Amino acid sequence: MINTTLYLRGMKGSLRLLAVLGAVITMYVTIIISMYDPELMATLDGFVELMPELMAAVGMDAGANNLLEFMISYLYGFILLIFPMLFAILRGNGLVAKSAEDGSMASLVAAPVRRTTIALTQAAVLVSGTVILLVYATAVELVSIAVMFPGEVAPGDLLQVNGALFCLQFFIGGICLLASCVFSDTRYSLGFGAGLPVLAYVLNMLANVGGDAEKAKYFTFFTLFDPSGIAAGETAARAGAGILLGAGILLYALAVAVFDRKDLFI
Amino acid sequence: MDAISTKGLTRDYGGGKGIFDLTFSVGEGETFGFLGPNGAGKTTTIRHLMGFLRPRAGSCAIGGRDCWRERENIQRDLGYIPGEISFFNDMTGAEFLRFLAGYRGQKPVRQKELLDRFELDPRGGIKKMSKGMKQKLGIVAAFQHDPAVLILDEPTSGLDPLMQNRFVELLREETARGKTILLSSHMFEEVERTCQRVGIIRAGRLAAVDSVEALRKRHLRSYTVTLDTPERAESFARDFGGQQDGCRVTVTARQSLEEIFLHYYGGGEHD
């Protein structure tokens, strides 16, 4: 199904980006969690009162009354959406389109390895990186909570929220890999692979502001990721995550099929 | 059975570019020269043979297998040197060769011998390698698993004359070992020195296919000169390698493949 040698090379290629993003996530997650203080909440809520649109745009609402809700407001609206997404965009583009463009793909296809195996291997590299990033973020969250606010968040609830986050990031990775397989020109593969998720995120920001702009939520897949709903055990939120996962699988399958059939000018 | 064959292979890029109704075959154990100027369609043909491109009309096969549908099976016993070498720039040459062996799942049985033969030290980073070094690395990569069929797209570009000679020697040895070779080139000398048959491609169409010998013969010119005395005729025949018949001497001049080439291309028109 996958080629081990190619997989290891791909993982090695992800290492540096994972380290950088991991460091950024460590910093933000620990700082945000350390900022949790029911008294300080008032200060943050003060910001929300001062500039409600801006704070809402990045997913920060007032009135979080426990640590998990606080984390959902301040981590799951921006940091944990953007940084794993950045990984998917950069690696998704690099794993297929870039080597098709610079010709190094020739060494991969001029070998007794099926094209579907090549594409599936690159998909595995992409998904593995996302998993590593989210497992790491979960670990940082759990350790921070255990050190600073032991017992404040039920680990099971946090895992469910992060599971849904994985579904979202998996779906975004599918978009990036599909763009990378469809276009051999990195201008277009990056244009679509980065453009679509970023556009969806901007629409999500708009929708968060509320008012008339709330209608934007019907045009962005980020709406399907509802961490508060997951934490509250809502069925609709779980269904949204399930849709993202299913659609993600479809995107990856499509990417593999496209790569198997495409003409390679290398 | 033909080792390599194309039947009516067509790929129209528009504007007269592409390949059109290309039909030729290379027998098992044969070394076939694929001659043509830049942009004639050599690389496009090779991309079809390699299974990179799907034929829009016609078909091509290697070892009786369809080049598009059974590409990964064909690749098991195939070595390829791309026309434009581009390897992983983040690796050293040695890492790349090791990667290829692991990725292909084939032992690089000839790697050391080839590195020695082409005096290549693969420990340096590929990014910093010269064009010639990358070309040598490409040769080692194509031959190290000792494949039965070799598809070589302008394999000596970037090599100095000494290394070009070593490469020609390698090809001759491989031919003697029964390998099937398709060698694309725009250099006649290379093809003349290594190939048994030549296909000349022009503007995407096959202009001629013949043995190197027959191509030469077809372009043999004879001149008969009459001299004053048989004695003078004899010395003339000796000096110019002619056939003497009394006072008449017949001399022949072979055109080089270069000239034959120009004949097919109508005076250096390179498109």
pLDDT of amino acid A173: 97
Residue B202 banded pLDDT, cuts 50, 70, 90: confident
Query: Mean pLDDT in chain A?
Result: 92
Residue B270 banded pLDDT, cuts 50, 70, 90: very low
Q: Cβ B105–A112 below 8 Å, yes or no?
A: yes
Q: Cβ B103–A263 below 8 Å, yes or no?
A: no
> Is A260 near chain B, with CB under 8 Å?
no
The minimum CA-CA distance between B251 and chain A, rounded to whole Å, is 49
Chain A residue numbers with beta carbons less than 8 Å from the beta carbon of B88 are 9, 104, 107
Chain B residue numbers with beta carbons less than 8 Å from the beta carbon of A112 are 72-73, 75-76, 104-106
pLDDT of amino acid A63: 58
> Is A104 near chain B, with CB under 8 Å?
yes
pLDDT digits (tens, 9 = 90+) for A104-144: 999 999 999 999 999 999 999 999 999 999 999 999 999 99
B52, B78, B85: residue with CB nearest A264? B52
Whole-prediction pTM: 0.86
pLDDT of amino acid B9: 95
pLDDT digits (tens, 9 = 90+) for A25-57: 999 999 999 988 777 666 767 777 777 777 777
pLDDT of amino acid B191: 86
The minimum CA-CA distance between A93 and chain B, rounded to whole Å, is 16
Residue A62: pLDDT over 90 = no
> Is A15 near chain B, with CB under 8 Å?
no
> Is B112 near chain A, with CB under 8 Å?
no
The minimum CA-CA distance between B44 and chain A, rounded to whole Å, is 8
> Is A112 near chain B, with CB under 8 Å?
yes
Chain B residue numbers with beta carbons less than 8 Å from the beta carbon of A5 are 99, 102-103
Q: Parse chain B into domains and list their residue ranges.
A: 2-212, 220-254
pLDDT digits (tens, 9 = 90+) for A137-184: 999 999 999 999 998 899 999 999 999 999 999 999 999 999 999 998
What is the DSSP code string of chain A? ---HHHHHHHHHHHHHHHHHHHHHHHHHHHHHHHT--TTHHHHHHHHHHHSHHHHHHTT--S---SHHHHHHHHTTTTHHHHHHHHHHHHHHHHHTHHHHHHSTHHHHHSSSS-HHHHHHHHHHHHHHHHHHHHHHHHHHHHHHHHHHSTTSS-HHHHHHHHHHHHHHHHHHHHHHHHHHHH-SSHHHHHHHHHHHHHHHHHHHHHHHH-GGGGGGGGG-GGGG--HHHHHTT-HHHHHHHHHHHHHHHHHHHHHHHHHHH-----
pLDDT digits (tens, 9 = 90+) for B159-191: 999 999 999 999 999 999 999 999 999 877 788
The minimum CA-CA distance between B179 and chain A, rounded to whole Å, is 18
* Mean predicted confidence (pLDDT) in B62-87: 94
Query: Closest-CA residue in chain A for B54?
Result: A263
pLDDT of amino acid A140: 97
Least confident span in A152-161, A246-255, B191-200: B191-200
Query: Closest-CA residue in chain A for B153?
Result: A266
Q: Please state at what angle helix A67-74 crosses helix A155-182, rounded to 10 degrees.
A: 20
| Interface test with chain A among B19, B65, B92, B103, by most A beta carbons within 10 Å | B103
Is the ipTM above a cut-off of 0.90? no
Q: Whose CA is closest to A9, among A148, A103, A107?
A: A107
The minimum CA-CA distance between A234 and chain B, rounded to whole Å, is 46
Q: Superfamily assignment of B2-212 in CATH?
A: P-loop containing nucleotide triphosphate hydrolases (3.40.50.300)
Q: Are A155 and A149 in contact (CB under 8 A)?
A: no
Residue B271 banded pLDDT, cuts 50, 70, 90: very low
* Mean predicted confidence (pLDDT) in B78-84: 94
Q: Cβ B103–A13 below 8 Å, yes or no?
A: no
A13, A107, A264: residue with CB nearest B53? A264
